[in-house]
Amino acid sequence: MKRGNRTLLLVGAIVVLLLVGFGQLAGMSLRFFGTSTLAARALGHYLAGDYGGAARLYRDDLARSAARTPAESPSSWLLMARGDLEEAASRAHAESRLAPSDPEPLLTLAEIALARRHSPAAVELAGRVLRLRRDDYDALLVTAVAQARLGIFPAAIGALKRALRYEQAERRRTTFLAVLEITGELDDQAIDARPSCLLAHLHRYLHIHDPSQADPTIRYALRAIDAGDRADDGYVTLAAIDARQGRPTRGFTRLQEALAVNPRNTAALLAAARYRGRRDDLAEEYRLTRAAFEADPADPFVFASLQSLLVDRLGDYREALALAEAAVAFDARNAEAWWRRGRVQMHLGDLRQALHSYQQAALLGPRTAELEDSIGRVLSRLGRDAEAAAAYQRAVALDPLRAGPHDGLGLLHDRARRRTDAIREYEMALMLGSPSVGLCELYWETGRRSDVAACVKRVLALDPDNPQGLALLDHLRGAPQHSARTAR
């Protein structure tokens, strides 16, 4: 393209942006912006409502950027992003053979099937990813796009609903572009042929990245309600927009309307429970969460919601244990159920059974930093310090920014009187957000008195009701100058 033409295109794009208004642009995700001509054209198409055209231009821009990315042995995803689908598929198959439990190559193959418009294959491959990594956000989006292209709109809505209940977004830009493209394809259909409820959910997903998507989300949700097209899900979608726009009470009214249509809508029940919980109405929060569990006891997300409420908010460990036992009995290969069983057993002080549950979870599922941290804590409490240290080190390797393992290692070093090592780990834990007083106590015992007050202040800023921190603060204010150790 000649330099003059390129300049005209860029100027035209800038004019479009100014006409649209800075208000919308200010709220949009950076993913919509770029420095290339292609990115500017893509943004112009997006702002004009041509989502399919925007997706194709963004994809071309991504391919050029990926082609400039240096890599001696590029991953299957990078090859796919470059547009080399044949080589990407070959590399993904090889990656999968080397690591059969790794869902990433399978996800790439699912995206390649989607790009080739092989929707049944995309659904099957994404399903394999979801069996390896439950509720993988990108796999759910791939499933939704493929089901939408197959015309199986209820299944597409189901996949989007599963994704949208998490406070996160996709990891791959390519899946975002696939959703943007299918939204354009469905928006371009004749008005009477458009699947309103599905489009409401697609625009609700785009609303995560662009607040101006609230208007089409609301429009399609109202059409779905008027047409009786899964009206309960339409009301839940309206409630979600209300919540994001700072109108939770109006959103709660929408949820009540959803439950009047379908009392077993788990999304409405859980959202209503969260509303009640934020108002400290624990009895109603429990009733609604329990109703969601009874409506769909096999849904791991609903099970986890009830389990967390029982453990973290109500302290009803006996019911939580019964729930976990039932989940393990229902599916003895459910790693998350074993982990949750172990967590309750820890609260009940049944350390050996907790260790058994955690070890079962490690055998059946991925060894996450959270799981290794849990194993380290129970081993530490059992006095098996060397094994605990190994578990904590594995947790740190998996997630260096998780505070718990550093706190645990600090305690183990403290026990062994390795104070320099203990202080190093405790300082890291405090920096990462752990409200442990272990560091403050070690500062006192090693003569770093000037650091103690600042340490206690940081602990209480993280946890104002921390009993050990409050006790240490009282000690600083008037206790004799001897050991500041609190009972831990």
* 45-80 pLDDT, tens digit each: 999 999 999 999 999 999 999 998 887 789 999 999
In the chain, how long is the greatest CA-to-CA distance? 81
Cα–Cα dist 270/19, whole Å: 41
Q: Band of the pLDDT at 474, cuts 50, 70, 90?
A: confident
Higher local confidence (pLDDT), 241 or 488: 241
User: Which of 84, 123, 132 is closest to 104 using CA atoms?
Assistant: 132
Cα–Cα dist 411/239, whole Å: 46
Per mean pLDDT, which range of 256-260, 390-394, 435-439 is the poorest?
435-439
Whole-prediction pTM:
0.82
Cα–Cα dist 452/446, whole Å: 10
> HSE-up of 318 (CA within 13 Å, CB side)?
0
Burial call 405-427: b when 16+ CB within 10 Å, e when fewer? bbbbbbbbbbeeeeeeebbbbbb
369-381 confidence digits (pLDDT tens): 999 999 999 999 9
DSSP 211: G
| Cα Rg, the chain, nearest whole Å | 26
Q: Is pLDDT of 91 > 70?
A: yes
Positive or negative, the CA dihedral 279, 282, 283, 287 is positive
Q: Band of the pLDDT at 276, cuts 50, 70, 90?
A: very high
Cα–Cα dist 105/21, whole Å: 41
Average pLDDT score over residue span 404-409: 96
Considering 310-314, 445-449, 467-471, the range whose residues carry the highest mean pLDDT is: 310-314
Judge whether 380 and 412 are in contact, CB under 8 Å: yes
* pLDDT confidence of residue 359: 96
* pLDDT confidence of residue 350: 96
User: Which of 223, 243, 240 is closest to 231 using CA atoms?
Assistant: 223
Q: Is pLDDT of 446 > 80?
A: yes
User: Which of 313, 325, 413, 408 is closest to 369 using CA atoms?
Assistant: 408
196-213 confidence digits (pLDDT tens): 999 999 999 999 999 999
* pLDDT confidence of residue 24: 63
Q: Band of the pLDDT at 169, cuts 50, 70, 90?
A: confident
* pLDDT confidence of residue 32: 92
Cα–Cα dist 344/377, whole Å: 13
Q: Is pLDDT of 1 > 80?
A: no
Backbone φ and ψ of 461, nearest 5°? -65, -35
Cα–Cα dist 446/443, whole Å: 5
Cα–Cα dist 55/51, whole Å: 6
Per mean pLDDT, which range of 157-166, 327-336, 405-414 is the poorest?
327-336
Write down the residue that tokens 């491959």 correspond to: 125
Tokens read off for 99: 């690591």
Higher local confidence (pLDDT), 470 or 384: 384
Please report, for residues 65, 66, 75, 338, 412, the alpha-carbon distance to residue 70 in angstroms, rounded to integers and kept in the order given: 10, 8, 11, 43, 43
In Å, how far from its chain's centre is CA 194?
30
347-363 confidence digits (pLDDT tens): 999 999 999 999 999 99
* pLDDT confidence of residue 467: 86
* pLDDT confidence of residue 487: 41
Tokens read off for 239: 């409630």
DSSP 101: T
DSSP 191: G
Cα–Cα dist 16/21, whole Å: 9
Q: What's the chain's length in residues? A: 488
Q: Is pLDDT of 42 > 50?
A: yes
Q: Band of the pLDDT at 191, cuts 50, 70, 90?
A: confident
Burial call 281-290: b when 16+ CB within 10 Å, e when fewer? eeeebbebbb
Chain mean pLDDT for the chain: 91
Q: Band of the pLDDT at 399, cuts 50, 70, 90?
A: very high
Judge whether 320 and 344 are in contact, CB under 8 Å: yes
Hey, what amino acid is at 410? Answer: G
Cα–Cα dist 63/78, whole Å: 9
Alpha helix positions (H), 3-47:
3-20, 22-27, 37-47
3-class secondary structure, 270: helix
SS3 content of the chain, % helix, strand, coil (to 5): 75, 0, 25
Judge whether 258 and 235 are in contact, CB under 8 Å: yes
In Å, how far from its chain's centre is CA 29?
17
Average pLDDT score over residue span 463-486: 70
Per mean pLDDT, which range of 12-26, 193-207, 408-422, 425-439 is the poorest?
12-26
Q: Is pLDDT of 10 > 90?
A: no
43 backbone φψ class: left, alpha, beta (φ>0; ψ -120 to 50): alpha
